[in-house]
Amino acid sequence: MPMTNNLDPAQRFTKTEFVVRKERIQSITKVLFAVMAISMIIPLLLIIGYLFYHALPSLSWEFLVEVPKKGMRDGGIWPAFVGTLYLVVISLAIAAPVGVFAAVYLNEYAKDNWFNRIIHLAVINLAGVPSIVHALFGLGAFVYAAEFGYSILSAALTLAIMTLPVIIASTREALASVPMPFREACWNVGASRWQTIRAVVVPNSISGILTGIILQVSRAAGETAPVMFTGAVFYKAVERGELFPYQLNEQCMALSMHLYTVATQVPNVKESIPYATAVVLLCSVLLVNAGAIALRVWLRNHKKW
């Protein structure tokens, strides 16, 4: 504020009571809101710290690749870990193409009419359906009606439908961020709609699409209820470090379900084992998410328009 007249500066700049009050409220609220924000982070750090502290005696590479021993009271989590990988990969193989195509349709093809608004609502509701309702659906539709039985296939299909909105939402966002002139330029040289999408829109939004897919992975890995009733078992004998122990029509163990069972069902388990299982699950999910975040930051720094 360039004030260059000769009035007594003290008088001109003394804060009136009104201003003092206003500024006091301002600083109080700022601190208050900061405390609120911090109080969300502190629990996160405390909890992760606590989990790690208790998990430490069991955490090792051995814990990951070893099979559960002595009635799940000792040993590792390999069958559960590999089972989760199975579920994630298969559900991804189903959800990714459908989700990306659905987003392409919504963003590139759909006109703004009532039908497409209904699709939009359906996506939102699909995202809001409780996981246990997805479990009921998976049980009723895949296990019984489609007669897939309790199997990896049923569980993966349930997970795929459940995580579909994650992919649709972030792919759509990524597609929408591609500026319209890009498309127009491409159409002007005679490219068809699909050619434009393939050659211009998708390459320019691939990082965003991948982010969505990564988020789907993290979501699918952490879900418990839907797999509990469609294809996850309490225990299945698997060799240590075996990479392909399961088949599609069999049931498998899953990390999230394993955490639930060791925490609630297995007696006299070594104290650190449920904690270590929780840490492995938590870390895999957080690492995957961190990957998505890193990708997004990379994308933002490399954006050329």
What is the footprint of other proteins within residues 117-146 (CB under 8 A)?
118-119, 121-137, 139-141, 144-145
Give CA–CA dist 230/218, Å, rounded.
19
- 102 contributes a contact to other proteins by CB under 8 A: yes
- 99 contributes a contact to other proteins by CB under 8 A: yes
Whole-angstrom CA distances from 153 to 91, 148, 208 are: 9, 7, 28
Stretch that binds other proteins, among 4-12, 56-64, 191-199 (CB under 8 A): 191-199
Give CA–CA dist 32/36, Å, rounded.
6
Find out whether 143 and 149 touch, Cβ atoms under 8 Å. yes
Residue with Cβ nearer other proteins (6 or 141):
141
Looking at residue 132, its amino acid is I
Find out whether 226 and 201 touch, Cβ atoms under 8 Å. no
Find out whether 85 and 258 touch, Cβ atoms under 8 Å. no
DSSP 160-188: HHHHHHHHHHHHHHHHHTS-HHHHHHHHH
Among 77, 153, 155, 174, binds other proteins (CB under 8 A): 153
Residue 69 is given by DSSP the state E
Among 13, 15, 195, 241, binds other proteins (CB under 8 A): 195
List the interface residues with other proteins, window 18-47 (CB under 8 A): 22-23, 25-26, 29-30, 32-34, 36-37, 39-41, 43-44, 47
Site string for other proteins, 169-188 (x = CB under 8 A): ------------xx--xx-x
- 56 contributes a contact to other proteins by CB under 8 A: no
Number of amino acids touching other proteins (CB under 8 A): 139
Give CA–CA dist 280/66, Å, rounded.
13
Stretch that binds other proteins, among 8-16, 58-66, 193-201 (CB under 8 A): 193-201
- 98 contributes a contact to other proteins by CB under 8 A: yes
Site string for other proteins, 61-90 (x = CB under 8 A): ------xxxxxx-----------------x
List the interface residues with other proteins, window 257-296 (CB under 8 A): 257, 259-261, 263-268, 274-275, 278, 281-282, 285-286, 289-290, 293
List the interface residues with other proteins, window 1-20 (CB under 8 A): none
Find out whether 54 and 272 touch, Cβ atoms under 8 Å. yes
Angle at Cα 156 formed by Cα 150 and Cα 158, nearest 5°? 85
